[in-house]
Amino acid sequence: MKKFFAILAITCCAMAMSATNYTCHIKVTINGESTEQDEVPVVITENNGTYDLNLDNFVLWVADFPMPVGNIALNGVEGVDEYGYTTIKFAGDINIAEGNDPQYDIWAGPLLGDVPIDATARFTDNAMSANIDIDMMAMIQQVISVEIFGVAPAAATLEGDVNKDGEVNISDVNSVIDIILSH
């Protein structure tokens, strides 16, 4: 009987949580200077009406030099469903955890302590966009803006072809953003 209840509990937890993996393009602007990266993974997990947004192994690139930052996690954020997409907004301090990418030995994020984050993300099962602003002027004289746009390859079917060009790609994300902005 205990086994039955354990299996039931695990099944209920699995049903209550769902994660979507997005492959993203990221533009990072620091004090007016921008760098861009492709193929950056972002995971959004729903858990009973709240959401976690995870950007793991985040690396800033200064010229051609990598600066490993770490894992950025916005956890337990309330979501609002409207116009066919979900919006989450987060404003507060987080601690950036050490990344787990073996090519980097030292991660800067854990050394920063509390990091002020102001973030908004909009997403569907097929596409997402997010803006994350980090005001570090008091600590390191930098304002960091992260713009994220991506698609969910696992959900990449013609169903996600928002702009009807025969592919699910970044231009579909732009179409979703245009729809969002028009409301």
Question: Model confidence over 113-172: pLDDT tens digits?
Answer: 898 999 999 998 889 999 999 887 777 778 889 999 998 876 555 455 666 665 656 666
For residues 27-54, average pLDDT: 90
Kindly indicate the confidence band of residue 44, based on its pLDDT and cuts at 50, 70 and 90. very high
Percent of the chain with pLDDT over 90: 43
Amino acid at 2: K
CB 59 within 8 A of CB 69: yes
Residue 74 region by backbone torsions, left for phi larger than 0, else alpha for psi between -120 and 50, else beta: beta
Task: Map tokens 């950007």 to a residue.
Answer: 55
Within 10 Å of residue 77's Cβ, how many Cβ atoms? 18
CATH architecture of 18-181: Beta Barrel (2.40)
**Confidence (pLDDT) at 172:** 64
Quick one: residue 120, left, alpha or beta (phi over 0 = left, psi -120 to 50 = alpha)? beta
- Rounded CA gap, 167 and 158, in Å? 7
HSE at residue 144, side-chain half, CA atoms within 13 A, is 21
- Per-residue model confidence (pLDDT) at position 63: 76
Considering the chain, what is the average pLDDT of its residues?
A: 81
pLDDT at 144: 87
pLDDT at 19 over 90: no
Distance CA 93, CA 113 (A): 9
Measure Cα distances from 144 to 23, 32, 53, 126, 141 in Å. 21, 9, 18, 27, 10
* Lowest-confidence region among 14-23, 48-57, 156-165, 170-179: 156-165
pLDDT for residue 56:
93
Looking at per-residue confidence, does 174 or 85 come out higher? 85
pTM exceeds 0.85 for this model: no
The 3-state DSSP class for residue 154 equals helix
